[in-house]
Structure 1
Amino acid sequence: MKQAVYKQGAGGFGLVELMIALVIGLLLSAVAIQVFLSSKNTYRLQDSIARLQENGRFAIHYLSTDIRMAGYMGCGRIDSSSVNIVADDFSQSEFNNQTLVSGAENVAAGNAWGAAPGTDVIVIRRGSPASARLAGNLANSNANIQLHDNSLGIIPNDVLFLSDCVSTDIFRATNVSQGGGKVAIAHAQGVNSSPHLSKAYGMDAELMMFERVSFFVRETNGRRALFVHRQIGERTGSAAAVPVELVDGVEDMQLEYGVDNTANNLADVYVTASSIADWSSVVSVRLNLLLHGSDATATSGPGMTQAITFNDAAAASDGRLRQAFSTVIALRNRLP
């Protein structure tokens, strides 16, 4: 009977083979970790880009919608219809061709809006986008205004526009009452210089609330955001509106105004607010925004640094992704 013959060293593996296997394993693990980290950085960067662009689009849309409507007063225009102001504490200078749009450039600390120093502010004045039709013709110029409902939310002392395509009256409501299926808006003397409007309006007239809308960048809790202060009806005290944050991460806002020097309703030159002598010649606004992402490490990885210039200055390099947005907004009520 034959016996099995075993050779020494034929089973298992040696120290050298073990070390080689360990090195290969470590290399494969390092490659896998690097791929994972790279994918994670790419995802974080793409997510930051998507959020940044979404915020930028929203900010541009919101600003454009309001700025475009500066000077809105229904179907009439301030340069082609008569405006009669009887509201007390509401001067002719509050709503005229010079004040439909105005702005402040590179505001200092402690400004009236609480805006971040070095940023710009824009203020527009207009009638509210929402309006109400009269429920009947006015019997005379001092008659109460009759509406089907109070969907505008009018309260006493609100500054209101009553306008058709020919005339506009600006007055304060003295009383809001309901009866007989209608809402009556009184405009008596006391908060008005006269109880009489310029004429007895017909059912084709629109009733709107006066709005002063301010946009600015404010710093809160160590970060900056775009704010809007929408003052409706000149309300004060507990009824007054407060500034509202619109878009987080808006680091800077710079504005230029298109000035028409040739009376053709087209911008001949774009200048900053401090260079404008006649605001009635402004026909458009060039809006420039700088936004940063919320991720403080989005551009801190290897080869992910970002250099961006805004308003002729280098933006901060703190690991956050930044992007500049720009658009030109035409003022509809200054177009031919």
Structure 2
Amino acid sequence: MKNLSKQSGISLVELMISITIGLILMTGVVQLFLSSRATFSTQQGLARVQETGRLAVEFLAEDIRMAGYMGCMSKKLNFTNTLNDSDTVAFDFEIGIEGLDNVGATVDDGYPDNIIQGTDVLVVRGANGNGIGVTRNNESGQLFAENSGVAATCDDKEASFSGLCENDILVVSDCQKARVFQATNLTATGGAVEINIVHSKDGSAEPGNNVASWGGNSSKDPDEKFGPDSQIIKMNTMVYYIANGTSGIPSLFRSVNGSAGQELLEGVQNLQITYGRDTNSDKVPDDYQTATEVGTAWEEVTSVRLELLVQSTEDNVLEDPQPYTFNGATENSPGDRRLRQVFINTVGIRSRLP
């Protein structure tokens, strides 16, 4: 039989010492966890800010480079816009690039109405996508082009051939002249190896054509003829602007051909733009000006300088508020603990540079 009098447990002092040591160890673990979490949140916020800034610059730069592009005839030496409402923001293809400077409380007609005050707006117009070749001389109200067999995503009631849809805004160019029009009807013809593109004054089309007949093959005017050396490409008007996104924070939006704006990138807080003007016709920018300073001289713009302010999508990723300098002004009290970074890039318009 064991002698129970020789067995003993932990004393109160030993228990208190053990608890104290455990608390000290737990405090260290918690501090390490909190420090690691804060570092992770900061690094994650920085990575997202940098990725957002990079993508925003790429989106804008890709369209800016192609501003005013109309196939091989991109100098507008002989350009005709046959659309109705050709002086509106969505369809004024005479102007390849333009913008608004520091939007006020009332936005100009034709622009989205939810643009954040004090930000800039960029409008880029031009042809993009794959072109299709004209197969024979046009007739007065129609063009004939190759049927590539590629379908596009169209509305249920619209036909699609060679990546085009009925009611698309198109440009036909032969390096000497270009004409913008709306395709009101697409059909396969010539044994399905080519398509017939009609450009009638169809009242159901938006905006529709104000000229249905070009004269075409029967005309003696060479400006009315587009033969097998011509190309047809889809035209688009892109409007880039800053508005509050679905999460409630500023984001970069894009509207195409007057459609509802699409949220591209969350966290783009501000966009400021200056335009490089060539005032002596040497194809080199002489000065960078705001949209207000450019006025109506958009044909002199050969490059665009972008300045974007990107913020982290989450608050409290920094220990203290982060002062920042943007567009020449310093903000010392941003009112939050978001991470911010400024991205600056200058992009040339290919058709206007040497």
Same fold (TM > 0.5)? yes
Preserved contact between residue 133 and residue 205 of structure 1 (Cα < 8 Å): yes
Please state whether the residue corresponding to 1:166 is helix, strand or coil: coil
For residues 271-317 of structure 1, the C-alpha deviation after alignment (integer angstroms, 9 at most, x for no partner) is 11111132111111111111111221211x3xx54221222141723
Counterpart for residue 155 of structure 1: 166
- Match for 2:326: what amino acid? F
Counterpart for residue 126 of structure 2: 126
Matches within 5 A, 1:90-129: 90=86, 94-96=92-94, 99-111=95-107, 112-113=111-112, 114-129=114-129
Distance in 2 between residues matched to 1:252 and 1:178, nearest whole Å: 47
Please state whether the residue corresponding to 2:225 is helix, strand or coil: coil
For residues 71-116 of structure 1, the C-alpha deviation after alignment (integer angstroms, 9 at most, x for no partner) is 001112225x3113333443599233xx211110110124232211
Q: Which of 292, 317, 325 is the equivalent residue of 1:309?
A: 325
Q: Following TM superposition, by how much is the alpha carbon of 1:241 offset from its aligned partner in structure 2, in angstroms?
A: 3.1
Relative to structure 2, which stretch is displaced further, 47-56 or 142-151? 142-151
- 1:187 to 2:199 alignment: yes
- 1:224 to 2:235 alignment: no
Q: Which entry has the higher C-alpha Rg, 1 or 2? A: 1
Preserved contact between residue 125 and residue 212 of structure 1 (Cα < 8 Å): yes
- Match for 2:131: what amino acid? S
Matches within 5 A, 1:7-22: 18-22=15-19
Distance in 2 between residues matched to 1:264 and 1:139, nearest whole Å: 37
Q: Following TM superposition, by how much is the alpha carbon of 1:140 offset from its aligned partner in structure 2, in angstroms?
A: 5.1
Q: Following TM superposition, by how much is the alpha carbon of 1:252 offset from its aligned partner in structure 2, in angstroms?
A: 0.7
Distance in 1 between residues matched to 2:325 and 2:302, nearest whole Å: 28
Preserved contact between residue 137 and residue 200 of structure 1 (Cα < 8 Å): no
Distance in 1 between residues matched to 2:138 and 2:232, nearest whole Å: 16
Counterpart for residue 247 of structure 1: 265
For residues 218-238 of structure 1, the C-alpha deviation after alignment (integer angstroms, 9 at most, x for no partner) is 11452211010111xxxxxxx
Preserved contact between residue 87 and residue 192 of structure 1 (Cα < 8 Å): yes
Preserved contact between residue 56 and residue 291 of structure 1 (Cα < 8 Å): yes
Distance in 2 between residues matched to 1:143 and 1:206, nearest whole Å: 14
Distance in 1 between residues matched to 2:195 and 2:11, nearest whole Å: 98
Preserved contact between residue 121 and residue 240 of structure 2 (Cα < 8 Å): yes
- Match for 2:166: what amino acid? I
For residues 134-169 of structure 1, the C-alpha deviation after alignment (integer angstroms, 9 at most, x for no partner) is 2x221656553233142332314x432100222212
Q: Which of 38, 42, 54 is the equivalent residue of 1:41?
A: 38
Please state whether the residue corresponding to 1:94 is helix, strand or coil: coil
Q: Which of 280, 297, 314 is the equivalent residue of 1:295?
A: 314
State the TM-score, normalizing by the size of structure 2: 0.80
State the TM-score, normalizing by the size of structure 1: 0.84
Give the share of equivalent positions with the same residue, in percent. Answer: 33
For residues 226-273 of structure 1, the C-alpha deviation after alignment (integer angstroms, 9 at most, x for no partner) is 010111xxxxxxxx7321110011111111111122322122221111
For residues 17-41 of structure 1, the C-alpha deviation after alignment (integer angstroms, 9 at most, x for no partner) is 5544443332222222111110111
Structure 1 unaligned blocks of 5 or more: 1-10, 232-239
**Residue-pair matches, total:** 313
Counterpart for residue 29 of structure 1: 26
- 1:280 to 2:299 alignment: yes
Preserved contact between residue 245 and residue 266 of structure 2 (Cα < 8 Å): no
